Structure formats: structure tokens, C-alpha cells
Amino acid sequence: MIEIDIKKSFKNKNEKIDFHFKTTIENNSINAIFGQSGSGKTTLLRLLSGLETPDSGFIKVDNKIWFDSKKKINLAPQKRDVGFVFQDYALFPNMSVIQNLRFAQPEKNEDFLQELLEIVELKELQNKLPDALSGGQKQRTALARAVARKPKLFLLDEALSALDNTMRQQLQDDIEKIHKNFKMTTLLISHDIAEVYKLASHVKIVKNGKILKEGLPDILFDESKISGKFKFSAKILKIQKADTIFVVTLLIGGNLTKVVATKEEVDKMSIGDNVLVASKAFNPIIIT
């Protein structure tokens, strides 16, 4: 069981966010952290990993205290049992695939590394340098390197967002295989509802640094009061004013779609935001 009750104040786009994350996480589960950019998702992972320090509170993992402001305990990142995967791979360019994995291992176990390479389909490429790999292969290496240390807590910060849809789905399968084989407690940040549905057993929706609601994916996302003919996740590419209305250009899958919005609606939007697009009858609306 992981117990978290931490606070931290920070600025996001010149707006002060009073972050307060209080929850428990079951061992061996995959939890998705879902919310708009700037809501505090990445801050949470950085606080858990020790890359940032909370202002107050505590983090307890299986009764071992990682952070406690009252007891003046704050374990260094290397002393926390964490595997962290970023969007940008962060591989050592002068090390081969297998050398990257070996570097991450606190206790050397070559058989385990070979098993891991087999799972992520990198065994034939283990002696290649990162520059010789595709984007998907680099991210597979990053996943395997994080798992090589057999962490208590596996953190994925938009780890698949830079990949195309086909490769993203393949890496999702890899994450499922890794979890099935090694049963690590996983925290996954993703803006992709389909990805959350596929991977997560539990979702925590975060807004303005706090948990808005949490529960099972199918229940949370179906709790929407909107009864539309269809619902799609989309990314905002462009917002243009046209007379008294606004036209929002959205990327849905691989297709561009334009939707009319009011000033009140676009005031809540920013280019790059991930939103839900739903249709009531024949009039699409956007949910931020």
C-alpha cells in the first residue's frame, strides 16, 4: 500500500497552484493520473520520485517513509525504489541497449535482463547504440531500463505521447506484458482516454493540483452528464475568431475537425489542450 498526503505551492503560467494530493494506491495496480496540462500531474511524479520536495506532508510506501515533513525525513531519489520513464527517453547515448539496462541495475542479474529484453522485443538489438534505434525502440529501451531496477513504484510521464498511433499501441502492449510479469505498482500520466481504458485499473482525475474524483475508468468517464451521439478525445490545434463566434480546429485520431465555440468556451481552452468532443443530435460541443 502506498499512502500519500503532500502539499506544494507552485506557479503555472503565472497562476499559483496550491497542490494537495491525498490518496492511497493499492500494490500491483496500474493507476492513471488524468487531467489538463498544468493541473499538477507531472509535479506529483516528481514529488514521489524525490526530484522535487513537497512543502509538507508524507509519502509512505509499504510502511517505509520516503518523505515526512514533521519527522524531517526526505529520502534522496537514488534511495527511493522508483523506475521513471519520460517522454524523451533520456538514454545514455554512448551506451548500448544492454549497457543502459545494466547501468540501472542495483544488483547485477544478467538472466533477468535477457528476460526483460525478450518481453520488449529488443534481444536482437541489445548491442546497438540509441542513435541506431527507432523512436519506438528507444522508448522500449527506456521502459526496460526503468524495470531493470525492479522498482516498487513505476512512473510513466506521458511516456508514449511522442509516438505514432501504431507504435503507441505496441508499447501499450509492452506495458501490459511488463505489468503481468513483474506486478509493479504503476502510475501512468496520459491524456489518451483509450490508453487509460486499456491500461489502468483505477483513475484519478486531477484539476488545479487536487484530485477531483477517482474510481474505475468506465465508471468515471461514463459519469459525464452529456448524453451525446458520439464522444471522441481530441487535441486543440488552432482557435480562430470569426465574427461573433470562434472556430476551433481539432485533431481527432488522424483527422482535422472544425467546431464552432462561444467566447465563454474558448476562454477555458488553450492550444495543445486535450478535450472531449461530443455531439448532441447534429451539434458538436467541446468539453474541456
Q: What is the pLDDT of residue 65?
A: 96
- Residue 202 is predicted with a pLDDT of 93
Mark whether 264 and 134 lie in a shared domain: no
For 126-167, what is each residue's pLDDT tens digit? 999 999 999 899 999 999 999 998 899 999 998 888 788 788
Among residues 169, 189, 222, the one where a domain terminates is: 222
Strand arrangement, sheet containing 15-25:
73-74, 64-68, 56-61, 2-12, 15-25, 210-215, 202-207, 30-34, 185-189, 153-157, 82-85
For the chain, the average pLDDT equals: 87
* pLDDT computed for residue 237 by the predictor: 85
- Asked if 185 and 2 count as a contact pair (C-beta separation under 8 A), the reply is yes
d(C-alpha 81, C-alpha 150), whole Å = 8
Tell whether the model's pLDDT for residue 92 goes beyond 70: yes
Q: Please check whether residues 211 and 235 belong to one and the same domain.
A: no
Whole-number pLDDT of residue 3: 95
Instruction: Identify whether residues 151 and 271 lie together within a single domain.
Output: no
- The residues, ordered by sequence, that sit 6+ positions from 15 with a Cβ below 8 Å of its Cβ are none
Q: Are residues 19 and 153 in the same domain?
A: yes
Helices 165-182, 135-148: inter-axial angle, 10-degree rounding: 20
Average pLDDT over residues 36-57: 91
Regarding predicted confidence, which is higher, 243 or 288? Answer: 243
* 175 and 88 belong to one structural domain: yes
Based on the fold, state whether residues 239 and 217 are members of the same structural domain: no
Q: Is the pLDDT of residue 226 over 60?
A: no
Verify that 136 and 252 share a domain, yes or no: no
Domain extent for 192 = 2-222
**Which CATH number covers residue 197?**
3.40.50.300
- Give the bridge partners for 64, in sequence order: 61
Model pLDDT for residues 161-202, shown as the tens digit of each residue? 878 878 888 889 999 999 988 889 999 998 888 788 889 999
**Among the listed residues 208, 257, 260, the one whose alpha carbon sits nearest the alpha carbon of residue 235:** 257
Q: How many domains does the chain fold into? A: 2
> pTM here?
0.74
Query: Residue 277's pLDDT is what?
Result: 80
What would the mean pLDDT of 73-101 be, rounded to a whole number? 91
